[in-house]
Structure 1
Amino acid sequence: MKMNIDNYSINYKITGHGETVVILQGWGTSMDLYDTIAGSINSHYRVIQLDFPGFGQSDEPKEPWSVDDYADFVLKFLNKLEVKEASFIGHSYGGRVIIKLASRDSLPIKINKLVLIDSAGILPKKTFKQKVRIKIFKTVNRLSRTKLAQAFFKDAIESWKSKQGSADYRNASPIMRQCLVKAVNEDLTAYLSKIKAETLLIWGDKDTATPISDAYIMEKAIPNAGLVVLKGAGHYSFLDQPYIFDRVMKSYFKIS
């Protein structure tokens, strides 16, 4: 299904009936990746899935959005669906958005439960090697904007730039790259203690994108949080350990 919000065409779908649960996706994914999560609970719940602007089949933002911009968008989206109360499930980047939402002092909707799956939000400490690489990148980037560089070395500079950064960064459009930079440079640790809703953390112990150490930080900081570690699972723990994940979800949402 499609919905128009602020002149953006947004892709979404709804399955099941009952109390509302909203699934927010990880960076650069399609909402269909999370069908198995929806399938774990939509026998008893109304599950809403959507593609964020710039993800899947939804229109890209016209300017670089911050995590707060995406949180504001989610509220507009739910308002259009007349959702007044919901639980939220977020994977990776979707977890960032949930943290920003759930930590706000006031919201137009009531949040019941939260599930954060291999969630992003903790800013890692940079190694000396990473700091050096960042400094080199910033220097080259600054020099590349000079007339001399553009005249004689434009192709070489663009080729070098295209090989820098993470796979998510390299695969993103110019606008979405700026959105990603805004996200990864913001540490959400200070927001965790403001989350009032009951929160389940689900993590793969082999996650290298958002390491298990992040899960322990969140478990300690969020007042009403519990952690389930899925052995042998990576950043997509719900896909790596589908049976155990399904049982955990059914237990948390009280589905017999």
Structure 2
Amino acid sequence: MKVFDGTNVNYITFGSGEEWVVFLHGWGGSIESFKYIAENLKVNKKFLLIDFPSFGKSTEPKTVWGVEEYAKALKEVLDKEKIEKFDIISHSFGGRVAIYFTSVYTNMVNKLVLIDSAGLKSRKGFVKWCKVTFYKLAKYFGFYFNFGSKDYNALSPHMKKCFVKIVNKNLKKNAKLIKVPTLIVFGENDKDTPVYMAKKLKKLIKNSKLVILKNAGHFSYLDNYYEFKPLLENFIGG
């Protein structure tokens, strides 16, 4: 547990080897979102999985956080563990943090993986995005939410402000600054971060490769796990 800006940030580490891989979950997720994949990867690496503040066992931010603050919290955890170089595996909101982090702390990141990543301006309204995201989390991770018009209003006023600050941040300029080898993976049926966003990211990030997974939606790494897993192993293991 690491305290940053008055917020308790929970994380775990495991694995062997000299090199590190850091997993960043999506909005509403937790360490559990990537834990199964990390535990089953056939690579000789050490892993760090974090609960972003307000999720999992981490506490809610004391102030209104945006992408920058989440990235700084991650940096604090990495500094505590004395991790100076690593690969990032990120999903959705985690991709926002990964894009910002990699553009600012350029020398720390070896390779970057963006899965169904958010970060570019969306055509979809925020409230609709929030409801769809919660529904998919319930489907894949067994969480329960009372779906309906009260979803957004049920959030704390403080977290509403965080949500709005985060989704209104366009990371286009940050993406252009990324130079490290980057694997962009999107589901062909993703309605939350559609394939057109993946193609934009591909154009913005020079040293990047785009893979569209068949029969997969916003959680493409789960929908098409058996194609995604070797793809990831080859990229970070090579």
**TM-score between the two structures when normalised by the length of structure 1:** 0.79
What residue number does 1:113 align with?
111
2:84 is the alignment partner of 1:98:
no
Q: Secondary structure at the match of 2:10?
A: strand
Whole-Å Cα distance in 1 between the matches of residues 46 and 10 of structure 2? 17
Tell me if structure 2 keeps the 8 A contact 1:15–1:42.
no
Q: 1:41, CA displacement in angstroms?
A: 3.0
Gaps of 5+ in 2: 128-147
Q: Residues 170 and 38 (structure 1 numbering): CA distance in 2 closer, same or farther, change over 3 Å?
A: farther
For residues 134-180 of structure 1, what are the alpha-carbon distances to aligned partners after superposition, in whole Å with 9 as ceiling and x for unaligned?
xxxxxxxxxxxxxxxxxxxxxxxxxxxx926xx5x455332222111
1:117-128 to 2 correspondences below 5 Å: 117-125=115-123
Q: 1:15, CA displacement in angstroms?
A: 1.8
What residue number does 2:27 align with?
27
Bigger radius of gyration, 1 or 2? 1
Tell me if structure 2 keeps the 8 A contact 1:93–1:119.
yes
What residue number does 1:183 align with?
166
Whole-Å Cα distance in 1 between the matches of residues 206 and 35 of structure 2? 30
Tell me if structure 1 keeps the 8 A contact 2:102–2:108.
no
Aligned with residue 204 of structure 2, among 214, 221, 239: 221
Q: Residues 75 and 42 (structure 1 numbering): CA distance in 2 closer, same or farther, change over 3 Å?
A: farther
Q: In structure 2, give the amino acid aligned to 1:163.
A: S
Tell me if structure 2 keeps the 8 A contact 1:201–1:225.
yes
**TM-score between the two structures when normalised by the length of structure 2:** 0.84
Q: In structure 2, give the amino acid aligned to 1:195.
A: I
Identity %: 39
What residue number does 1:137 align with?
none
Q: 1:251, CA displacement in angstroms?
A: 1.1
Tell me if structure 1 keeps the 8 A contact 2:5–2:62.
no
Whole-Å Cα distance in 1 between the matches of residues 176 and 2 of structure 2? 34
Tell me if structure 1 keeps the 8 A contact 2:181–2:207.
yes
What residue number does 2:134 align with?
none
Tell me if structure 1 keeps the 8 A contact 2:91–2:114.
yes
Q: Secondary structure at the match of 1:72?
A: helix
2:146 is the alignment partner of 1:163:
no
1:1-256 to 2 correspondences below 5 Å: 2-18=1-17, 19-41=19-41, 43-104=43-104, 106=105, 110-125=108-123, 163=149, 169-170=152-153, 172-254=155-237
For residues 21-73 of structure 1, what are the alpha-carbon distances to aligned partners after superposition, in whole Å with 9 as ceiling and x for unaligned?
10011001121121133134364110100101111110100111010111111
Whole-Å Cα distance in 2 between the matches of residues 198 and 36 of structure 1? 24
RMSD of Structure 2 on Structure 1 (CA): 2.3
Whole-Å Cα distance in 2 between the matches of residues 75 and 17 of structure 1? 21
